[in-house]
Amino acid sequence: MNAPTELPFRVEPREVPAAMIDGLKARFGERCSTALAVREQHGRDESPFDVRPPDAVVFCESTEEVAAVVALADRHAVPIIPFGVGSSLEGHLLAVQGGISIDLSRMNRVLRVNPEDLTATVEPGVTREQLNREIRDTGLFFPIDPGANASLGGMAATRASGTNAVRYGTMRENVLGLTVVTASGEVIRTGTRAKKSSAGYDLTRLMVGSEGTLGVMTEITLKLYPIPEAISAAVVVFDRIESAVNTTIQMIQLGLPIARCELLDVNAVRAVNRHDKLSLREGPMLLMEFHGSEAGVKEQAEMAQQIAREHGGEDFQWATTPEERTRLWTARHRAYFAGLQMKPGCRTVTTDTCVPISRLTECISQAVADAEAEGLQYYIVGHVGDGNFHIAYLIDPAKPQERETAERLNEQLVHRALAMEGTCTGEHGIGLHKQGFLIDEAGAGSVELMRTLKRALDPKNILNPGKIFSL
């Protein structure tokens, strides 16, 4: 967990009546826990906040059980916080006002797979890796890959994306329908398995990205895709980070149908080499992947190689076997934890800006210059194919001035991204950490409209209160 920092608003904990705890224990038995160790496990994530744990944790196993917990919470006006695997970076699952954590990890069944329609319906505790294992024999896969083996419920709640977003989109484009428990404990369904609909308000898109503040998702219908006939991955190293980013920009602007395009700066490559015992050349690096037919992948790869060479790219390494590709992408996915080992005992302040692709080089270059000027240790990884990158500032939790410097650099970066018509968060969500930035980005009027929706759908403010904005 990251080093603690102050919450962006004053917290007023709400009392959980003994009658409610008694009711939960009567209904769920040992699956309702008030043990401190269990509560603490559900009261922390990878965010920089340190708050009190929830008052109790309930392990639900069905939509009906979730509805029962929410209905009881509605009766007593007690907060409820959905919990998946705890990999949030923005404090989404923290019980800032106390209340009940609803652990959805046991709701981990793939309910239906319809290969002919390229869809699957899953419970929220199913992880992306689990889903792909279970559907492998159908010749299909689910492409959204945020790095961590996150739960699909959490991914939908935060509108996650990741390494494949440049080709396959984000969770917003890949969720067709939902089963949702509302603030009163009512079960509703949104969307269908059809690829499109113009029937009424788009409640599915309203719920996707709502961070558990408008309802608890208990079933999710997803788009699937055929496993490509051919897949090829490549690594190319540059002398300057600007050259790597400019290569990406040119590939996107030329319409090259790249499936993945990830940036690692020299610090990230160095960390990955040490952590995974690799021997990658230590310089700014692009990891690319191409999907399609044998001929199509070959043509895409040759064009990418030509563009990279024009920008000084060297040491092309191709990985065509599944084992070679897995090794490369596993190293990329572990970059966060590899980076932490660069400064023993450190914690991170991680940014999540996304800008129009034409402004990406400028945005990254200025961010690097700012960090170098401050002498703060950092590394960069990014889904640069869609303009999204992360700087992880490494800070000593015993030195408050380092956190202050990191937060100031983060603020400068966000304001620069907004000035470029970008966003403060490309995929991590608002949670607790970015609430001030949301007002800067969307405007006070838009945020007040969000509050109006929240009050209408959750009048007692029991659904994950304190996230996205304060009421």
Q: What is the largest CA-CA distance in the chain?
A: 70
Please state the separation of Cα 420 from the chain's center in Å. Answer: 22
The CA distance from 390 to 380, in Å, is 6
Q: Residue 127 — φ and ψ, nearest 5°?
A: -90, 165
Query: What's the pTM value of the predicted model, to 2 decimals?
Result: 0.92
Q: Could you tell me where the DSSP H helices lie in 118-170?
A: 128-135, 152-158, 165-168
pLDDT along the chain (471 residues), means of 10: 52 89 96 97 83 96 98 97 90 94 98 98 97 96 90 96 92 97 98 93 97 98 96 93 96 93 95 89 94 92 93 86 82 85 88 96 96 96 94 92 94 98 96 94 97 98 96 88
pLDDT score, position 4: 44
Q: What does the DSSP assignment read for 391-446? A: EEEEE-TT-HHHHHHHHHHHHHHHHHHHHTT-BS-SSS--TTTTHHHHHHHH-HHH
Query: Do strands 285-292 and 32-33 pair parallel, antiparallel, or not at all (unpaired)?
Result: unpaired
Residue 126's identity, in one-letter code, is: V
| Structure tokens given for 347 | 């914690």
CA dist 181 to 42, 84, 87, 240, 438, Å? Answer: 21, 16, 23, 50, 26
DSSP letter string, 45-107: -SSSB--PPPSEEEE--SHHHHHHHHHHHHHHT--EEEESSS--SS-TT--BTB-EEEE-TT-
Amino acid at 391: I
Are 468 and 213 spatial neighbours (Cβ–Cβ below 8 Å)? yes
Say if residues 320 and 328 touch (Cβ distance below 8 Å): no
Strands across the sheet containing 119-122: 110-114, 119-122, 216-223, 175-181, 187-191
pLDDT at position 3 is: 39
51 vs 91: CA distance, rounded Å: 10
CA 363 remoteness from chain centre: 21
